[in-house]
């Protein structure tokens, strides 16, 4: 389960970095990448993390 948590934490870091770049540069070109990263993160939570917490 530690690997799952580390993966999700890394996802958080990626998205935070992308958001920071977007805000600082007032550039919305990163939105599709942010959306993709959030979707991957959400799927990871739903498919890997949440089932483990139910066991």
Q: What is the pTM of this model?
A: 0.74
Instruction: Over range 28-53, report the average pLDDT.
Output: 89
Is the predicted pLDDT of residue 37 greater than 80, yes or no? yes
- Domain residue ranges of the chain, discontinuous segments joined by +: 2-54
Task: State pLDDT tens for residues 2-15.
Answer: 788 888 899 999 99
Instruction: Over range 3-32, report the average pLDDT.
Output: 92
Instruction: Over range 48-55, report the average pLDDT.
Output: 79
Grade residue 51 by pLDDT with cuts at 50, 70 and 90. confident
Q: How far apart are CA 31 and CA 22, in angstroms?
A: 8
Is the predicted pLDDT of residue 55 greater than 70, yes or no? no
């Amino acid at each position: 389960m530690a690997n799952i948590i580390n993966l999700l934490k890394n996802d958080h870091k990626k998205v935070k970095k992308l958001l920071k770049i977007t805000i600082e540069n007032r550039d919305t070109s990163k939105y599709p990448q942010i959306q993709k990263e959030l979707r991957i993160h959400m799927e990871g939570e739903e498919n890997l993390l949440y089932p483990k917490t139910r066991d």
